[in-house]
A and B are shown apart, each in its own frame.
Chain A
């Protein structure tokens, strides 16, 4: 279709673009790589200059970090517990809400849908002051409940679930079960939820990562050191105690990012797919 004189030009363009993409790729990876490499180097080595080759000091950095009371395993545990519980809640109740919005006709349905759309746009950060006072008033500071339970009303997840259900739902799916006398809730559990598996998987990844990365809410609600989540632990690395222990500090950062990098290595295809399908933003 194109005249052959163009072929050379296109080839040149392609090469230039691949070079450019490679530069951007380096930009994505290098900051993490430098940190990971530095977590294996001693403080003097780090002070000498930049290196991209790991050294052999990882274990001593790790013991320094541990001796400073940086309990990374507790952080993993706390963050995992919060992220897993809130993800399960948000998946289950968002699907249930989406199902209600699609299958039933009831008064106030349009109004609820309007609320959900507005909730997507208005972030929770704008009401943290009221949220904090409310939680303090009912005595739930230093408790994971206010970090987990709000996931029941997760508007973006409902939106995504509804979009998905709309494409697969047909009344015939549930008709025979109804004739057999199955309850509505049983129909939802045995027929609808299994059908929604792909959407559930996508939102599970995003919900989990979103909760795992949340910093502001736990910062406000949790004081107890043993209850710190991972981002709160990471925050400690900026304090004076690490001003000389560079290796230990880099080890701390590394340990906080490695789980996510591993997850991403395996799931990036689904994550990119989720972003493409729904414009999901954390």
Chain B
């Protein structure tokens, strides 16, 4: 990116200056900027503003209460639970996901194995990602349903279990199912990104290693893995930011239960704001905490992005 833009924009600059077209830059950017201000910028600052008020229930007037909401949320057991749940659900999904994605990317790119039909397998591994998350949640809630859901029936008929299991009354099971769904929906995507990264590594490095007598696995651990660090960081952070927004699956699967075990930050925000007491101030405060976390994580990516520029062209979320 760096080199091509400098030369191209150098030419453009001269051309544009001469013909005085630059003002069109503002005109063409204007729609984006106006809609960004209205639908992104303003709502974000409105949310931050609400986190310093007492707006709740059907009240129409908001009074400033300083940092009171932040003190309250710090002591809010349910919110703390939602934060730790969100991280637990993400970690349990991400670790197997990145391990499997790395292995698949390694196998897919191995010249020694020279596997066929990779495109076919990739497109099937990616399939769950494009299906509506709401539908996926309902699918799994019926597959695992009690007492006569398909999975229970299958295991009963096989004789694996004597009596049906009520998956969604068990904290562990419910969490595992939510994490599994996330894993299942995203490992295909991660595999594709990692594979693209491996393919962008200079072939000569591998050839040189082979001449020196390195095994395939040695090349993978000594060349591929270190060079893949930036992409892995990118995958990690975008997955984490995405994971912090987890809503559809836990909300539609069990509504956050049992015992609030899959209550996430967004299900917490949604329920506070739109159910029961309509505590918009609490929801706004939780949103600000989430915003701070997200900003922190995205700054990490942003920095690694700027230092590494083109090579991987990754970055669209």
Please tell me if B223 contacts chain A, counting CB pairs below 8 Å: no
Which residues of A109-148 have CB atoms within 8 Å of chain B's CB atoms?
109, 112, 115, 117-134, 146
Interface residues of A in 222-276 (CB under 8 A from B): 230-232, 234-235, 237-238, 246, 249-250, 253, 256-257, 260-261, 263-264, 268-269, 271-272, 275-276
List A contacts of B297 (CB < 8 A): 121
Contact B287 A209 (CB under 8 A): no
Instruction: Check B44–A130 contact: CB distance below 8 A.
Output: yes
Residue in B47, B121, B305 whose CB lies within 8 Å of A127: B47
Tell me whether B133 and A2 are in contact (CB under 8 A): no
Q: Which residues of chain A have C-beta atoms less than 8 A from B302's C-beta? A: 117-118, 121
Tally of contact residues, B, Cβ under 8 A: 109
| CB–CB A13/B113 < 8 A | yes
Q: A260 and B12 in contact (CB under 8 A), knowing A17-B113, A25-B124, A153-B40?
A: no
Asked if B189 and A261 make an inter-chain contact with CB atoms under 8 angstroms apart, the answer reads no
Pair B132/A260 contact, Cβ less than 8 Å: yes
Residue numbers in A under 8 Å from B126 (CB-CB): 268, 271-272, 275
Residue tally, chain A, CB below 8 Å to B: 110
Q: Given B50, B143, B154, which contacts A129 in the complex, CB threshold below 8 Å?
A: B50
User: At the interface, yes or no: A100 with Cβ under 8 Å from chain B?
Assistant: yes
Judge if A61 is at the interface, Cβ distance under 8 Å. Answer: no
- One digit per residue, 1 when the CB lies within 8 angstroms of any chain B CB and 0 when it does not, for chain A 5-21 equals 00000100110011001
A76 in contact (CB, < 8 A): no
- Tell me the minimal C-beta distance from A277 to chain B in angstroms: 7
Task: How many A-B residue pairs have C-beta atoms within 8 angstroms? Tell me.
Answer: 329
Q: Which residues of B contact A109 (CB under 8 A)?
A: 25
| Residue A66 interfacial (CB < 8 Å) | no
Chain B residues closer than 8 Å to A150, beta-carbon distance: 35, 39-40
In the complex, whether B59 has a CB less than 8 A from a CB of chain A is: no
In whole angstroms, what is the CA distance A93 to B32 when docked?
7
Q: How far is the CA of A160 from the CA of B139 in the complex (A)?
A: 33
Q: Interface code B170-210, partner A: CB below 8 Å = 1, 0 otherwise?
A: 00000000000000100011001101100000000000001
Cβ-closest 3 pairs across A and B: A104-B25, A121-B298, A130-B46
Q: List 26 A-B contacts (CB under 8 A).
A: A14-B113, A25-B124, A25-B125, A50-B153, A102-B9, A103-B12, A104-B28, A120-B316, A121-B297, A125-B247, A129-B47, A129-B284, A134-B46, A153-B32, A153-B39, A215-B133, A215-B247, A216-B266, A231-B132, A257-B139, A271-B130, A272-B123, A275-B192, A277-B196, A279-B238, A281-B317
Q: Could you list which residues of chain A lie within 8 angstroms of chain B, going by C-beta atoms?
A: 1-2, 10, 13-14, 17-18, 21, 24-25, 27-29, 31-32, 34-35, 38, 46-50, 93-94, 96-97, 99-106, 109, 112, 115, 117-134, 146, 149-150, 152-153, 156, 158-160, 163, 166, 169-171, 175, 178, 184, 188, 209, 212-213, 215-216, 219-220, 230-232, 234-235, 237-238, 246, 249-250, 253, 256-257, 260-261, 263-264, 268-269, 271-272, 275-282
Binding site for A on B (CB under 8 A): 1, 4-5, 8-9, 11-13, 15-17, 19, 21-29, 31-33, 35-36, 39-40, 42-50, 107, 112-113, 115, 119, 121-135, 138-143, 148, 150-151, 153-154, 157, 184, 188-189, 192-193, 195-196, 210, 234, 238, 241-242, 245, 247-248, 252, 266, 269-270, 273-274, 280, 283-284, 287, 290-291, 294-295, 297-298, 301-302, 305, 312-317
